[in-house]
Amino acid sequence: MKLPLLFVDELRGFYKSKVMLFLWIGLPVIAILFRFVQSSTTGQDIPFTVISTLVVSSLAGTLASVMLAVSIINEKNKNVYELFLIRPLKRRDLMLAKFLSVYLCVVVASMISVFVGVTTDYLTTGILSATILDSTVRSLATSLSMLAVACSAGVLIGVASPSVMVGAILVIYGGNQISVIPLVPTLLNLPEATLFTVGLAAAVTAVLVGTAIGLFERKQF
């Protein structure tokens, strides 16, 4: 069984889960509520496209990371990998399939949320300026970068953690901190901060996933 087949198999399992249904449907709803509550309490309208990307990067990142970690830990505890590893497949493909499938699902959730955001801004203001669209693209790039780091942290924590409780705690108190790393270029006000954010996120994701694969290949099943 090669990586594409494993990826499709994992994708079928994850996209049907209640967590993913919440991400695809619940996130836009939460962002809409947050936007109108913020508008009524402060009197200022922050573009919904910006709010939607902030909600996705924080809430979706945590949920995706927890789901990855819990999935891997449960499969380890149930000795699922013993059945996989008697087949002629590479261990790294198992971890890559999980990471890619969850990340793709979260990307879809992000796109849905941003589409709802653009539509809401247009319907409420009647204007969709180039500045708002540019801000949306930058915010989405940052959001997807943070999600990639969060998912990779979930894979590493899932491989390294001995129990679901430990894994969940590490994700909430450690994974969330790691996922903020891509924001460093923006916080430092670097020129072309978005490009640095994407590059930094790619590097951190590669290191975390690579470390997870290395640990998984050394485990005895």
Question: What does the pLDDT look like over 116-129, one tens digit per residue?
Answer: 777 776 777 666 66
Domain interval for residue 126: 3-218
| Exposure letters 188-202 (e unless 16+ CB within 10 A, then b) | eeeeebbebbbebbe
Question: What does the pLDDT look like over 161-188, one tens digit per residue?
Answer: 989 889 888 988 888 788 888 888 877 8
Quote the number of domains for the chain.
Answer: 1
Contacts of 29 (CB under 8 A, 6+ apart): none
Residue 16 has pLDDT above 80, yes or no: no
Question: What does the pLDDT look like over 97-113, one tens digit per residue?
Answer: 999 999 998 888 888 87
Is 183:138 a contact under the CB 8 Å cutoff? no
Model-level pTM? Answer: 0.85
